[in-house]
Chain A
Amino acid sequence: MWKKEEPARPSSVTPSSITTSSVTTSTEAPAPAPLMSPGSFDQRREEPRPMHEEAASIGKSIIINGELSGSEDLTIEGRVDGKIELRNHVLTIGVNGRITAQVTAKAIVVFGHVTGNLTATEKVDIRESGSVEGDIVAPRVAIADGSHFRGSIDMQRKEAPILRDSMVMAPEPESRSSMAGELVRV
């Protein structure tokens, strides 16, 4: 009488809205469901999506060499070497994800390992298990305790910084001394 609806499952097959230049599938392990859903990042979608639309993901047995671009949110649990562009969407690099690439997206969430520069128009979020070696350009950057990061962070602030004009002088220290006759400024 009632048709039982199948719950939406993430797909490890490259969806039509994601394009890649070279894909290799390893046979050593089946592609599992991603550990994190791309929707876990705080975001507002521009368009409503059908209820049954599957979240795009690249399973951990997938290896991509070359350019990867797309027009939907994507989770990567596999390996990507090259370049990733999801200009208006969220890229999640899962705990198994290994990325050696220049990455551009609206928002980037890192649970896995990234070597390469990250550029996001909204936010880069490196979680506790995440590791990034590269430069980050994004207006907001969150880095969890326990994560690894080496590189530079440029938050591209255009407006006047908050503190410059409102700095409060520090209270007197416990003790103060000059060094080798040099002047100490207070």
Chain B
Amino acid sequence: MNAGATAAAETVRSSKTLAQFLSLLFSRRSAELVDLGPVIGSNIAFFGERIGCKIHVEDLYADLDRHVREDALDELPKFLGRRFALPDASVDAVLCWDVFDYLAPAAAGVLAGELTRMLGPDGALLGFFSGDGADDRVYTKYVIEDESHLRGRLYAGACCRGRVLQNREITDLFAGLELFGSVLLKSGVREVVFRKPKEK
């Protein structure tokens, strides 16, 4: 990707769901956050220094690339099932970004189950779901500009987006969570915030 393409590949957009996600996070002291994207220094500073979170960086895009390179995508569901060492109900928030766009149904199901398991009561999960399955082998780094704006920065990856998930499929995927907010952008991307219900 040349410099011109990189500049063109960077876009800033507003995100209502990011503000909703953060509002759930603000109410917690010393919250623990899982970030499924590649590490981004400014996001670490945002969550660590400004909000006071402990951040777990678990770059699933790198794992996905490794499985593609090793021609082992069939092993991905099994891998995801034992990928996270975090105990049940131990985290307060999960940033999925758009990782589910790149997963086959079996892997998506396992990952959603694991994230639901790790989330504690009232925990929040933010995910983006694309409206079209582009053929480009690119991923997006989501850089938090402020509480309501995200900068998308494209970088080369080994996978393209899979099939588009319908609304019902998204809610079914996270059957153990409650829908807290959902926004459909003009670009066709659906931003979704789920919250884990309190234990009764």
Mark A residues whose CB is within 8 Å of B.
140-145, 147-155, 157, 160-164, 167-180, 182-186
Contacts and interface: CB of A to CB of B under 8 A. Distances in A.
Nearest to A152: B56
Interface residues of B, number: 41
* Residue among A144, A163, A169, A183 having the largest count of chain B Cβ atoms under 10 Å: A163
B200 interface: no
Contact of A179 (B18, B51, B148, B182): B182
A167 B170 contact: no
Contacts of B41: 142-145
B197 interface: no
Contact of A170 (B14, B44, B58): B14
B80 interface: no
Given A164-B26, A170-B18, A179 B192 contact: yes
A177 B26 contact: no
27 contacts: A143-B40, A143-B41, A143-B44, A144-B41, A147-B39, A148-B39, A149-B57, A150-B39, A150-B58, A151-B56, A155-B48, A155-B49, A161-B50, A163-B26, A163-B147, A164-B26, A168-B147, A170-B15, A174-B14, A174-B185, A176-B184, A180-B171, A182-B179, A184-B182, A185-B180, A185-B181, A186-B16
Contacts of B185: 173-175
B54 interface: yes
Nearest to B148: A170
Contacts of B168: 180
Given A153-B48, A170-B147, A177 B19 contact: no
Given A150-B58, A177-B182, A185 B20 contact: yes
B186 interface: yes
Contacts of B183: 173, 175-177, 184
A176 B16 contact: yes
Interface in B163-189: 167-168, 170-171, 179-186
Contacts of B104: none
B26 A167 contact: yes
A79 B165 CA distance: 48
Interface string B1-43: 0000000000000111011101100100000000000011100
Contacts of B65: none
Contacts of A160: 52
* Residue among B26, B57, B148 having the largest count of chain A Cβ atoms under 10 Å: B57
Interface string B44-73: 110011111011111100000000000000
Contacts of A163: 22, 26, 50-51, 147
B57 A180 contact: no
Nearest to B86: A152
Contacts of B22: 163, 167
A169 B26 CA distance: 13
Interface in B66-104: none
Contacts of B57: 149-153
A150 B185 CA distance: 31
Contacts of B182: 176-179, 182, 184
